């Protein structure tokens, strides 16, 4: 099993943290991982993306040119990366910040209202973890328990009080995918 992911959005949306969590979780599970961050000149508000490869065998190249999975947290990310996803791939769209539907018909889109769901938790910054929960429900690359263990490494100690909130966020994302799959029609999810 080799999965290549591209996670993208604005700086400040926790894009790089999502990638770190996946990479750490993969390592905890004994998998081979690669994580490559990329961001624009401005941090918060600029563009940010990262690529992650998770594999059960050695990774020949950490470069992700044709990802299996893309997370697009905003419209510029969807516009830029939708064309490069592998046919049959999974595309997770933050439907609160992206007004247009996915154009490609050879991939499986999931429209997740990540910002709205984070608002229900009372923490707008949890949108990335909600999206991560959705991704792991659709393709269980790593176990959610491994993500939670990874948060202890990614979050500074003074933020460990947020672990229960992040666990709820993962579950909300998973529930959003479960609901989308129940009500899916005409090849689109969400």
Residue 34's beta-bridge partner residues? 53
3-state DSSP call for residue 173? helix
**CA atoms of 26 and 28, how far apart (whole Å):** 5
The pLDDT assigned to 187 comes to: 44
Right CATH for 2-183 from 2.130.10.10, 3.40.920.10, 3.30.565.10, 3.40.50.720: 3.40.920.10
* Segment 160-169, tens digit of pLDDT: 999 999 999 9
153 compared with 121, residue with greater pLDDT:
121
Q: Tell me if residue 148 falls in helix, strand or coil.
A: helix
Express as a percent the part of the chain with pLDDT over 70.
92
Q: In what order do the strands lie in the sheet with 47-55?
A: 32-39, 47-55, 2-10, 69-72, 90-94, 108-112
pTM of the complete model: 0.91
CB atoms under 10 Å from CB of 85, counted, come to 24
Specify the pLDDT at position 156: 87
- Give the residue among 113, 65, 72 at the shortest CA–CA distance from 90: 72
Count of residues in the chain: 190
- Per-residue exposure over 96-105, b if at least 16 CB sit within 10 Å of its own CB, e if not: bbbeeebeee
Domain residues of the chain, as ranges? 2-183
């Amino acid at each position: 099993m080799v999965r290549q992911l591209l996670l993208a959005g604005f700086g400040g949306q926790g894009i790089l943290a999502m990638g770190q969590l996946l990479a750490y979780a993969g390592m905890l599970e004994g998998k081979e991982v690669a994580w490559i961050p990329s961001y624009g000149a401005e941090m918060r508000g600029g563009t940010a993306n990262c690529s992650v490869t998770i594999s059960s065998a050695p990774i020949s190249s950490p470069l992700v040119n044709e990802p299996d999975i893309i997370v697009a947290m905003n419209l510029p990310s969807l516009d830029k990366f939708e064309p490069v996803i592998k046919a049959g791939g999974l595309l997770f769209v933050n439907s609160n910040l992206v007004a247009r539907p996915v154009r490609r018909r050879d991939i499986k889109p999931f429209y997740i209202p990540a910002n709205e769901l984070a608002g229900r938790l009372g923490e707008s910054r949890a949108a990335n973890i909600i999206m991560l929960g959705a991704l792991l429900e659709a393709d269980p690359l790593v176990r959610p328990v491994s993500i939670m263990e990874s948060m202890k490494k990614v979050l500074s100690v003074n933020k460990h009080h947020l672990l229960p909130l992040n666990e709820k966020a993962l579950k909300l994302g998973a529930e959003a995918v479960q609901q989308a799959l129940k009500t899916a029609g005409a090849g689109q999810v969400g």
